[in-house]
Each structure stands twice: as C-alpha cells, then as structure tokens.
Amino acid sequence: MQVIRHYLSAAVGDLIYGQAGTTGATTAKIYAPFLWKADDYYNEHFYEVYVYAGTNIGVNKRVTDWDLSTFLATVHSVYAAACDATSYIELHRIFTEDEYRKAINLAIESLTDNYLIDIKDETTIRLTSTTDNLSKTVYTWEYALPTNILYLYRVTVEEAVSGVKLTGTVSGAFTDGETITGGTSGATGELTYGPSGGTYIRVRKVSGTFVVGETATGGTSEETCSTITAVDSEIAGGSRFLQSDLIDSRNYTIIRSYPPALKLNENYCAIDEDLYLRLEGQGAQPIVDDDTDIIYLPPDWLVQKAITCLPDSKIQSNGLQATLARAERYIRENKPRAWPKPNAMQIVE
C-alpha cells in the first residue's frame, strides 16, 4: 500500500519523503537531513510525519517544531524508541495518512465486481478422516472453502511421499518444514504436519529410526511430541503440487452455502490424510491496512480513482479542482476489467 499512497500523495502535490538518521535524534525529535525549508516551516504549515519503514513503522505524528540548522523535527508526542537510519518517513500537509488509506480502500471497493485477481490457497483445506464406533476409517468428502475465493478453476492434491507418523503428546504448534529430532534415537525428519492440539506429528525425509517412548523435538519451534506411543509408516505431504495430481473438475462440486464448501466425489477421489489441497481461483482485492499489504489492481487507475475519494472540502480549499477533474475523466475512460476465467466455477451467487 505504501507505493500506492506515495503515487497518490505525489499526484496531489502532497509528498515529501526520505530516510531519517541518528544525529541528534531522540524519542521526540527526528533527524531529517533531506528537509530544507526554513525554521518552523513544517510546523507552521501543519505537516504530519508518518514512518513507513523501519523503527516506529506505522506511527503518525504532528510536527511541532523544525530547526534547519540541526535538521531536527520535533513531534507532538514521544515515540517508543528514537527513529534511526532504518526509519523512512513521509510528510503531508493537505491530507492525512488515514485519509489517503481510506481513499485507497474506497477505490479498491469500487472495482470489486469488475476486476478479479488470481488467488492461490495451499493451507485452508487439509484432507482428513475419522474412525467410527466399529474402528473403521470414515473419510471426509466435504470441506469449507475460503470465503475470499469467488470463482474456483483448479484443485490439486499435495504430492504424497513416504513418511512416518509419531503418535504422542504434542505441545504447541510445530513449524512446517522444520527438522524433527528423536531425543533417544537421534533419528531426524522434516515436519509435514504438527498443529497445536494434535495427537501426532508426521515427518518425511526420515534418517534413522524413531522409537517408542522417546520425545521428538522441533529444531525451529522447539515444540515437542513427547512420550511417543506409536511409530507408523504412512503417507506424508511432499510440499509440492504436481500436474499429475490435478483433480478433474468433474470430480468435485461447489455447495453454495455460507461458508461455501467443496464436495469431492467419493467414487473417483482418494483421501490421503493430512495432504493439503491447492485451490486456484479468483476473488476481489481485499482492502488494505498495513504498508506491507500488496495491491494487485492497476495502479494508474487506482490512484486516479482514489483522488476522487479524498475529502472534497480539502480538494476545494487547496485548489485541486483541476486535478480532480482530470482524475474523473481518466477513470470514466479507462476503467479496467478482469472477468472470471472461462472454466471457473462460481462459488457464491
């Protein structure tokens, strides 16, 4: 979002930005050697300073004093820590950072029905099974879909590889891909499944032999699967999604409830427990809150549309009527479109 905000504020002549520093900086003063106006200019013109990277990222304050000889800008209240050379700041005097963010989100929402973005989800659906009263395995064929996907056009099962299932007492959530080591055996493997509250973990690429009774520990998370009661050879996720594991679209249907669900055809699909499904579809660009949020919409149109969403009173009082008129003309003549793919299934009507 930071890039779009800079484009937007520059388009209305309201952007100064650069790298802060440490010379004379305190929790109440920012060293800003890229500023060059005379003493008190930035406080007398009611500038606000927003940190968009580094120390104090996301913090917005008002400038209350400016000393050109020291390049120090005093702010109205102290930071938790002094801004330093990692801090990148921007200054505005016409519109606030909050007003820019709201205008960008209004522009995003205006394209919801006309511009779909590609979405790939590999973490929402994990294939599962249960055991009934007769100790028989009962597979799950119906799974809730993520609500951000409006159209679904491809479903792929995670690659299945040989692995080991360690049944025991799981503490906390393991990290996918981390190395698991047996405390007694010294055996190692790469974690493919181990969420918080589970009764087992699953590993692949096993070296050595895990044993009953030992504790297996994660090398990154430091979580444990303790007092292991069973060591079984089972299928594990391979963290890859191959073309050969693509599910034919005739073998699943969409249940248009809320939340919507994916129903696999039990006559043609196989369930390997703990493997994930990759969902490829399309949806609307979500609104943005943080500077690290990514916007996939065409930036030129989005910036011009956002100009029309800025407070009209400030547009008028700062002589930006011509800028607004150009923006209105541009968005009328250049509205972008991105429709559903021809083979996509609609999730919600």
Mean of pLDDT over the chain: 95
Q: What is the pLDDT of residue 65?
A: 98
Written as one letter, the residue type at 42 is Y
pLDDT (tens digit, 9 = 90+) per residue, 224-263?
999 999 999 999 999 899 999 999 999 999 998 888 999 9
The pLDDT, as a whole number, for residue 259 is 86
**321 neighbors 307 (Cβ within 8 angstroms):** no
- Give backbone dihedrals phi and psi of 7, rounded to 5 degrees, phi first: -60, -45
pLDDT at 270: 85
Low-confidence ranges of the chain (pLDDT < 50): none
Number of neighbours of residue 141 by Cβ within 10 angstroms: 15
The residues, ordered by sequence, that sit 6+ positions from 186 with a Cβ below 8 Å of its Cβ are 208
Q: Which pLDDT value is given to residue 130?
A: 77
Per-residue model confidence (pLDDT) at position 201: 96
Q: Which long-range contacts (CB under 8 A, 24 or more apart) does 245-254 make?
A: 245/156, 245/157, 245/158, 245/159, 245/160, 246/154, 246/155, 246/156, 247/155, 247/156, 247/157, 247/277, 249/153, 249/154, 249/155, 249/343, 249/345, 252/155, 254/145, 254/152, 254/345, 254/346, 254/347
- Long-range pairs for 338-345: beta carbons < 8 A, 24 or more residues apart: 338/114, 338/115, 338/116, 338/117, 338/282, 339/116, 340/116, 340/151, 340/282, 341/151, 341/153, 341/282, 343/153, 343/249, 344/151, 344/152, 344/153, 344/281, 344/282, 345/151, 345/152, 345/153, 345/249, 345/254
pLDDT digits (tens, 9 = 90+) for 156-200: 999 999 999 999 999 999 998 999 999 999 999 999 999 888 899
Report the pLDDT value the prediction gives residue 271, as an integer from 0 to 100.
87
pLDDT, position 107: 98
Measured in Å, how far apart are the chain's first and last C-alpha atoms?
A: 30
95-106 per-position pLDDT tens digit:
999 999 999 999
Q: Tokens standing for 266? A: 């039990």
As given in the structure block, the two tokens for residue 41 are: 């200019």
DSSP calls for 89-119: EEEESSS-HHHHHHHHHHHHHHTTTTB-EEE
Q: What is the pLDDT of residue 218?
A: 97
* CB 279 within 8 Å of CB 124: yes
